[in-house]
């Protein structure tokens, strides 16, 4: 029997080497993501044969298992997950599948699973160089917004890395951002819980961040960290939308200062939010990482 436990900060020591070794690009395969959403998704973890296993249960009624991360023979690992589901009397489901891992599941267990596309969970992945230079006609509007921001705030704006000394200012800015937001739904509440964990455990999660000031006040900030040697993930990005160009400016400045050495930037999914989807598509992703759920027939 697998021994699952609720994920905690001490698990980073053994989880990160497994995740970095497998080279997955998905947002599910980074310790900080799993940790900050542990309360919302009731994330439990286990280790088997060198594979990192995740069981989540947001609705507390139907557990779902992340496609295992690791190297080696994955079939007995998936079979062990099946047994775990059976022991709980629930239907076995696997999420976070890419086209490649879905094909592997089908090859290992022919005609045993039904596969369903989960568009709301597709990750938006961009080449870092494109996010820095914003070259080409497809993103000319982003360059225009950045130029406008620089022109309207000439001599008044600055960028700096997030440190223990300015972290509290970012929290105050986030609080003000939420007070201005017209959305008070479940998604915003869940995001707020995850963001609090990013602030509370900034160093322990291995995060780095950047902020923008205008007239000395923080008007935008962002946080992220590497997934592996080629992919950097952005967990949070907040800016006051009434300041023209603040969003594209913090995006461009942060990647240029903190993540330019990584080939790709994963800006996570859009959770099905129309506005967020439009914004992420407007940057013309180089990879729209498709995700699937596999359910045992």
When pLDDT is averaged across residues 79-96 and rounded to a whole number, the result is: 96
Tokens linked to 255:
């990647």
Tokens linked to 198:
């990013």
Strand order in the sheet with 64-66: 5-6, 44-48, 51-56, 64-66, 93-97, 292-296, 113-117
Beta strands in 49-191 (DSSP E): 51-56, 64-66, 93-97, 113-117, 123-127, 157-161
The residue count of the chain comes to 297
What does each C-alpha distance from 275 to 168, 218, 278 come to in angstroms?
A: 28, 24, 5
CB neighbour class for 137 (10 Å; exposed up to 12, middle 13-18, buried from 19) = exposed
Q: What is the pLDDT of residue 180?
A: 83
Lowest average pLDDT, out of 44-48, 57-61, 167-171, 202-206, goes to 57-61
Query: What pTM value is reported for the model?
Result: 0.94
In the three-class reduction of DSSP (H, G, I as helix; E, B as strand; rest coil), residue 121 is classed as helix
Among 151, 169, 152, residue whose Cα is nearest residue 161? 169
Residue 60, pLDDT above cutoff 70 = no
- State the Cα–Cα distance between residues 131 and 283, nearest whole angstrom: 8
- State the Cα–Cα distance between residues 201 and 204, nearest whole angstrom: 5
- State the Cα–Cα distance between residues 246 and 149, nearest whole angstrom: 7
Enclosing H/E stretch for 185: none
Q: What is the pLDDT of residue 213?
A: 98
- State the Cα–Cα distance between residues 100 and 115, nearest whole angstrom: 12
Q: Which residues pair with 89 in a beta bridge?
A: none
Q: Which residues pair with 44 in a beta bridge?
A: 6, 55
List the domains of the chain with CATH numbers: 5-122 (3.40.630.30), 123-268 (3.40.630.30)
Average pLDDT in the chain: 95
Percent of the chain with pLDDT over 90: 90
Q: What is the pLDDT of residue 50?
A: 96
Among 281, 185, 200, 169, residue whose Cα is nearest residue 38? 200
pLDDT digits (tens, 9 = 90+) for 134-188: 999 999 999 999 999 999 999 999 999 999 999 999 999 999 998 887 665 666 7
Angle, vertex CA 142, rays to CA 141 and CA 146, nearest 5: 115
What does each C-alpha distance from 38 to 126, 232, 233 come to in angstroms?
A: 27, 21, 18
pLDDT digits (tens, 9 = 90+) for 217-250: 999 999 999 999 999 999 999 999 999 999 999 9
What does each C-alpha distance from 261 to 4, 86, 211, 254, 257 come to in angstroms?
A: 36, 45, 19, 12, 9
Q: What is the pLDDT of residue 189?
A: 75
């Amino acid at each position: 029997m697998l021994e699952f436990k609720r994920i905690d900060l001490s698990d980073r020591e053994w989880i990160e080497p497994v995740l970095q070794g497998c080279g997955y690009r998905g947002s599910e395969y980074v310790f900080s993501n799993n940790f900050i959403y542990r309360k919302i998704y009731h994330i439990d973890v286990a280790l088997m044969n060198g594979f990192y296993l995740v069981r989540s249960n947001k609705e507390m009624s139907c557990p779902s298992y992340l496609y295992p991360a690791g190297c080696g023979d994955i079939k007995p690992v998936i079979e062990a997950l099946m047994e775990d589901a059976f022991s709980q009397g629930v239907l076995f489901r696997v999420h976070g599948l890419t086209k490649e891992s879905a094909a592997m599941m089908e090859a290992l267990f022919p005609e045993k699973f039904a596969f369903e596309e989960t568009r709301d969970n597709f990750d938006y992945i961009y080449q870092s160089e494109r996010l820095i230079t914003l070259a080409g006609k497809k993103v000319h509007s982003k360059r225009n917004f950045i130029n406008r921001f620089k022109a309207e705030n000439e001599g008044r704006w600055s960028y700096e890395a997030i440190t223990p000394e300015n972290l509290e200012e970012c929290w105050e800015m986030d609080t003000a951002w939420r007070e201005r937001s017209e959305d008070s739904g479940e998604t915003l509440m869940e995001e707020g819980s995850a963001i609090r964990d990013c602030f509370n455990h900034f160093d322990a999660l291995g995060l780095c961040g950047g902020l923008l000031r205008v007239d000395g006040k923080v008007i935008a900030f962002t946080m992220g960290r590497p997934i592996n040697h080629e992919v950097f993930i952005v967990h949070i990005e907040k800016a006051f939308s009434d300041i023209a160009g603040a969003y594209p400016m913090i995006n461009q400045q942060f990647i240029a200062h903190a993540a330019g050495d990584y080939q790709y930037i994963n800006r996570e999914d859009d959770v099905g939010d129309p506005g967020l989807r439009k914004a992420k598509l407007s940057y013309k992703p180089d990879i729209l990482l498709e995700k699937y759920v596999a359910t045992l027939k």
